[in-house]
Structure 1
Amino acid sequence: MVATVTEVYLNPHQARRRAPTQYEDLLGDSIERAYGAGITELAALVAHLNRTGPGCPYNNGVWTEENYQEEIARLAA
């Protein structure tokens, strides 16, 4: 008899309480594109979001370093 061993892995969605909203998907996609383009500094990331969207859900759609950090903290809670 051959025993099989199942790899243990972290399913990134196992702690998720709900499916992401369209806004969350768009924000994540935009952040991933920024990282893929080599953008790693906060100021450059905020500038990228202001160019490509999605817009900030408050502050008339304009991202700042401060409201980006607040929004990411809110989404992570």
Structure 2
Amino acid sequence: MERYLEPHQARMREPSQYENLLGDSIERAYANGLHDLASLVGYLNDAGPGPQVGVRWTEASFAAEMKRLAAD
């Protein structure tokens, strides 16, 4: 039996433009060696995209957004 990975097997819909931009920015932060929450939030505040609520990311707002997106 051949095994395979379906990377979008839990996806209920296509990601929005905002979700794609946020994911791309998070990937760039990781590629730049930023792995802790404070550095990631700082990177997002510099590079974008900004949060959908508020002007700047905070550690709490980022955690809340990840929780919201995971439940979506």
Query: Same fold judged by TM-score > 0.5?
Result: yes
Which structure has the larger Rg over C-alpha atoms?
A: 1
SS in 2 for 1:66: helix
Amino acid at match of 2:51: C
Gaps of 5+ in 1: none
State how 1:36-75 maps to structure 2 within 5 Å: 36-60=31-55, 62-75=56-69
Q: Structure 2 regions of 5+ residues with no counterpart?
A: none
- Root mean square deviation, CA, Å: 0.9
Task: Give the TM-score of the pair, scaled to structure 2.
Answer: 0.93
- In the TM superposition, structure 1's runs of 4+ consecutive aligned residues that sit over 4 Å from their partners are none
**Between Structure 1 and Structure 2, how many residues are aligned?**
71
Give 1:8 deviation, angstroms: 1.1
What is the percentage of aligned positions where both structures have the same residue? 58
- TM-score, scaled to structure 1: 0.87
Cα distance, 1:10 vs structure 2? 2.1
Aligned to 2:14: 19
